[in-house]
């Protein structure tokens, strides 16, 4: 697509700051539907090319603050690119100073400089968006519960039980309430999965793999947009931080091949825990891990191989549309 109008937007909690590249016009609008309508009227007033297909609006992915704008543009058919903040920051070189208007201008410059390769963002289905919100909330509640449980255990060891009975009762009540809320969220997650036939089928395929449980399956569907966001498992491995990269330059720098720290750490942690579980309870993975370590291979490197095996199997069952088959039990 050859775009003619390049607009950068800096999204904040209450406002959006817009900049029209080449024209130099900048203005601030409210971060709500009324403000979005005013923004489009402003663009039409200042630009010769006002057709929706001729413009590309670029802004950073700021979570719940940017999703309103993204949904609005998606509904009326205006192309937009919602990009990670780090991607824009590392591409603009050495800069000094910043404010919302300057950030909008730099984002517009980024869109223009990458006009040949920039791709419009496609929002996932509403069921996927809801699933992402529920999983985020569940993760926060689980972390809070874990924090309370850890503190409770430590205080029970350090303090006298009878004298601090009321404190322990508060911790117990908080943990129980959080457990109840987590179960309610999990029921809602299950309802969302059941409401979408495509999501439901892929969920069943994923959970057919040994050690892949409901939490990882739901997160995989959410982050891959039901396996439409990544064309291959290798691209997903790069995104999640399990793909190894070389670290060498010339004859003096010859570092070890290693994974990148730029990754989705939450999803990587889930896959890592599943890999540890597989090494303990999946006979095939357990045997592979022991054999490779006995050959002198690094334990963490071996665990990363298993993480990638799990990722490739999840993509394989979805791509072929059939459940996982445990070939090891048919081996002689």
pLDDT tens over the chain, length 332 residues: 588 899 999 999 999 999 999 888 999 999 999 999 999 999 988 887 667 778 899 999 988 899 999 999 999 999 999 988 888 888 877 777 778 898 999 999 999 999 888 989 989 988 999 999 999 999 999 999 999 999 988 888 887 667 778 888 999 999 999 999 999 999 999 999 999 999 999 999 999 999 999 999 999 999 999 999 999 999 999 999 998 887 777 767 677 778 888 888 999 999 999 999 999 999 999 999 999 999 999 999 999 999 999 999 999 999 999 999 887 776 64
User: What CATH number is associated with residue 42?
Assistant: 3.30.420.10
Which token pair is 131? Answer: 């699933």
Does the residue 204 lie in any domain? no
Does the residue 212 lie in any domain? no
Q: Pseudo-torsion of CA 155, 158, 163, 165, nearest 10°?
A: 30
Neighbours of 284 (CB within 10 A): 16
Q: Are residues 170 and 260 in the same domain?
A: no
Q: Are residues 106 and 190 in the same domain?
A: no
DSSP 3-state of 92: coil
Q: How far is CA 188 from CA 183, 195, 212, in A?
A: 9, 10, 20
Q: Are residues 93 and 165 in the same domain?
A: no
For residue 6, how many C-alpha atoms fall within 13 Å in the half-sphere facing its CB?
Answer: 21
Q: Are residues 43 and 109 in the same domain?
A: yes
Q: Are 314 and 212 in contact (CB under 8 A)?
A: yes
pLDDT at 158: 81
Final residue of a domain: which of 167, 195, 223? 195
Does the residue 120 lie in any domain? no
Does the residue 101 lie in any domain? yes
Does the residue 220 lie in any domain? no
Q: Are residues 92 and 45 in the same domain?
A: yes
Does the residue 301 lie in any domain? yes
pLDDT at 57: 94
Q: Are residues 255 and 169 in the same domain?
A: no
Q: Are residues 248 and 305 in the same domain?
A: yes
pLDDT at 239: 93
Neighbours of 217 (CB within 10 A): 20
Q: Are residues 250 and 317 in the same domain?
A: yes
Final residue of a domain: which of 84, 113, 142? 113
Q: Are residues 272 and 312 in the same domain?
A: yes
Q: Are residues 185 and 240 in the same domain?
A: no
Question: Can you give the residue range of the structural domain that contains 56?
Answer: 5-113
pLDDT at 139: 95
Domain count along the chain: 3
Q: Are 134 and 192 in contact (CB under 8 A)?
A: yes
- Start-to-end Cα distance in the chain: 56
Q: Are residues 131 and 109 in the same domain?
A: no
Residues 6+ apart with CB under 8 A from 205: 317, 318, 321, 322, 323, 324
Does the residue 213 lie in any domain? no
Q: Are residues 66 and 159 in the same domain?
A: no
């Amino acid at each position: 697509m050859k775009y003619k109008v390049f607009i950068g937007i800096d999204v904040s909690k209450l406002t959006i700051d817009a900049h029209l590249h080449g024209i130099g016009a900048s203005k601030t609008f409210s971060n709500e539907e009324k403000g979005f309508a005013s923004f489009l009227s402003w663009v039409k007033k200042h630009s010769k090319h006002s057709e929706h297909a001729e413009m590309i609006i670029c802004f950073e992915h700021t979570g719940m603050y940017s999703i309103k704008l993204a949904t609005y543009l998606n509904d009326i058919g205006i192309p937009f690119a919602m990009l990670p903040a780090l991607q824009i920051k590392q591409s603009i070189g050495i800069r000094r100073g910043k404010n919302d208007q300057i950030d909008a201008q730099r984002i517009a410059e980024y869109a223009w400089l990458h006009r040949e390769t920039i791709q419009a963002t496609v929002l996932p289905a509403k069921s996927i968006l809801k699933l992402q919100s529920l999983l985020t909330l569940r993760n926060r509640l689980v972390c809070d519960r874990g924090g309370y449980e850890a503190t409770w255990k430590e205080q029970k060891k350090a303090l006298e039980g009878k004298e601090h009975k009321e404190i322990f009762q508060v911790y117990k009540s908080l943990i129980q309430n959080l457990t109840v809320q987590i179960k309610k969220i999990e029921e809602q997650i299950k309802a969302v999965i059941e409401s979408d036939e495509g999501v439901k089928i892929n969920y069943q395929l994923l959970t057919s793999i040994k050690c892949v449980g409901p939490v990882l399956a739901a997160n995989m569907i959410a982050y891959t947009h039901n396996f439409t966001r990544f064309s291959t498992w290798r691209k997903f491995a790069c995104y999640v931080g399990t793909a190894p990269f070389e670290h060498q330059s010339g004859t003096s720098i010859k570092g070890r091949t290693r994974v990148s720290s730029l990754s989705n750490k939450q999803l990587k942690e889930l896959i890592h825990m599943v890999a540890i579980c597989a090494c303990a309870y999946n006979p095939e993975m357990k045997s592979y891990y022991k054999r490779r370590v006995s050959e002198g291979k690094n334990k963490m490197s071996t665990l990363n191989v298993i993480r990638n095996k799990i990722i490739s199997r999840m993509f394989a069952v979805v791509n072929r549309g059939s459940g996982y088959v445990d070939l090891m039990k048919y081996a002689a």
